[in-house]
């Protein structure tokens, strides 16, 4: 990546002060096991949304996780998200429209009462394995037989819970961004402002979803424990998706991999590390796998990062050659995952809460 004129934030004793008013704490030791991590990357920049500074990434050889070696104090984390894309809707494209039509076919076959396209192309596409899996992930893989109460942690603009409400779920969201909360409430959605700890512990949900949330928190086990307290014991389902540090994309792009997203991604998991984290939070792992649905989305901005582009997170109009190459990358990952199961760009994990009297995860 091309070098840029930005402030180099090196640790000063115990804390550093950034030019955007953030206190940064050096973090050399694994957040999960406490072992000192080895340096994986140095001098990375936020080419997605332009938070100034340079950041290193460390990794733990025991746990299989990676993390930025400078992290903001908790009260300054919201400053990283002023331009973050999940808090607004992205423009639609022709392919996105076709993909949504195929997804509706998948969701209908799952048993949801939806009207889906009678056109032949989306119906055929909905049987392509990768597209079929991606369509199911539009509802986080939740089957309609489990329909009841759903809590979406980190609900952003509420698009997901609005979709699930239309499918028959009784939905609630929680998000730390006041603008996102205000927007969700304006759509008639029940949205709490803050973290899952701000959701009354007396409330129990049949499903809790964390869609690319876990990588944004400094203490994921604590977050999962708080979710477990609000999940209906044994019958409730928790679904987690998060970037996969062992993915083909990370191997391919190294420090320019879109999934690193410094400095917002505070902890990056491998499937084995997420399994251990789930167990450490007192949850029962039901299934874990990697998925390829984000391969194209990962590829294009990563290519632009390699070329030295800036503010890539706000762009969707990549050039034609990059778009074509992204489809080839998607096909390659779809083919390779048949033989190497852990190379998908994201991890998909399903777990449950144990019976309340078993004493786990206190």
pLDDT tens-digit readout, 228-248: 999 999 899 999 999 999 999
Query: Are both 189 and 288 inside the same structural domain?
Result: yes
Question: What is the pTM assigned to this prediction?
Answer: 0.90
Identify whether residues 62 and 187 lie together within a single domain: no
Domains contained in the chain, number: 3
Q: How confident is the model at residue 112 (pLDDT cuts 50, 70, 90)?
A: very high
67 and 174, same domain (yes or no): no
Looking at residue 116, its pLDDT comes to 81
Q: Is the domain of 319 the same as that of 289? A: yes
- Please check whether residue 341 lies inside any domain of the structure: yes
| Residue-level pLDDT at 95 | 74
User: What pLDDT shows up at residue 89?
Assistant: 52
Q: Are 105 and 247 contained in the same domain?
A: no
Q: Exposed (0-12), middle (13-18) or buried (19+): which is 210, by Cβ within 10 Å?
A: buried
127 and 148 in a common domain? no
In a domain, 205, yes or no: yes
Phi, psi (rounded to 5 degrees) for 141 = 75, 10
Domain hosting residue 46, numbered range = 16-81
Do both 167 and 303 map to the same domain? yes
Residue 209 lies in a domain: yes
- The position carrying tokens 């190379």 is 343
Cα angle 83, 194, 14 (rounded to 5 degrees) comes to: 70
Alpha-carbon dihedral 50, 314, 258, 73, rounded to 10 degrees:
40
Residues 72 and 152 in one domain: no
Judgement on whether residues 296 and 196 belong to the same structural domain of the protein? yes
What b-and-e string marks burial along 141-152, b requiring 16 or more CB atoms within 10 Å of the CB? bbeeeebebbbb
216, 123: one domain? no
Segment 295-311, tens digit of pLDDT: 999 999 999 999 999 88
Same structural domain for residues 73 and 125?
A: no
CA distances from 187 to 29, 158, 181 (A): 43, 8, 10
Per residue in 252-297, pLDDT tens? Answer: 999 999 999 999 999 999 999 999 999 999 999 999 999 999 999 9
- Mean pLDDT for 34-46 is 95
- The share of the chain scoring above pLDDT 70, in percent, equals 88
Using pLDDT thresholds of 50, 70 and 90, give the confidence band for residue 80. Answer: confident
Indicate whether 325 and 192 sit together in one domain: yes
- As a whole number of angstroms, the distance between CA 298 and CA 232 comes to 35
118: confidence class by pLDDT, cuts 50, 70, 90? confident
């Amino acid at each position: 990546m091309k070098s840029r004129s930005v402030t180099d934030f090196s640790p000063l004793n115990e804390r550093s002060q950034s030019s955007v008013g953030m206190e940064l704490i050096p973090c050399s030791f694994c957040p999960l096991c406490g072992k000192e991590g080895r340096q994986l990357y140095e001098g990375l920049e936020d080419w997605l949304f332009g938070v100034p500074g340079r950041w290193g990434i460390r990794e733990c050889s025991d746990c299989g996780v990676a993390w930025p070696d400078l992290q903001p104090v908790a009260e300054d984390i919201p400053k990283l998200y002023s331009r973050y894309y999940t808090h607004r809707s992205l423009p639609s494209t022709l392919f996105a429209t076709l993909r949504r039509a195929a997804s509706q076919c998948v969701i209908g076959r799952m048993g949801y009462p939806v009207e889906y396209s009678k056109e032949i192309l989306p119906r055929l596409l909905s049987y392509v394995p990768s597209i079929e899996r991606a369509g199911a992930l539009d509802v986080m893989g939740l089957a309609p037989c489990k329909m009841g109460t759903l809590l979406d942690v980190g609900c952003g603009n509420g698009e997901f819970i609005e979709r699930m409400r239309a499918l028959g779920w009784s939905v609630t969201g929680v998000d730390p961004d006041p603008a996102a909360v205000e927007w969700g409430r304006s759509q008639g959605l029940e949205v709490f402002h803050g973290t899952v700890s701000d959701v009354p512990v007396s409330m129990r949900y049949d499903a809790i979803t964390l869609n690319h949330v876990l990588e944004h928190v400094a203490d994921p086990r604590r977050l999962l424990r708080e979710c477990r307290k609000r999940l209906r014991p044994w019958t409730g389902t928790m679904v987690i998706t998060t970037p996969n540090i062992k993915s083909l994309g990370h191997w391919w792009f190294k420090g320019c991999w879109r999934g690193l997203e410094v400095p917002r991604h505070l902890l990056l998991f491998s499937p084995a590390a997420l399994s251990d984290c789930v167990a450490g939070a007192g949850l029962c792992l039901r299934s874990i796998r990697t998925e390829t649905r984000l391969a194209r989305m990962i590829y294009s901005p990563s290519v632009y990062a390699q070329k030295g582009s800036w503010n890539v997170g706000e762009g969707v109009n990549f050039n034609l050659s990059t778009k074509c190459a992204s489809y080839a990358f998607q096909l390659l990952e779809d083919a390779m995952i048949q033989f190497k199961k852990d190379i998908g760009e994201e991890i998909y994990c399903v777990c449950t809460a144990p019976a309340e009297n078993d004493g786990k995860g206190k």
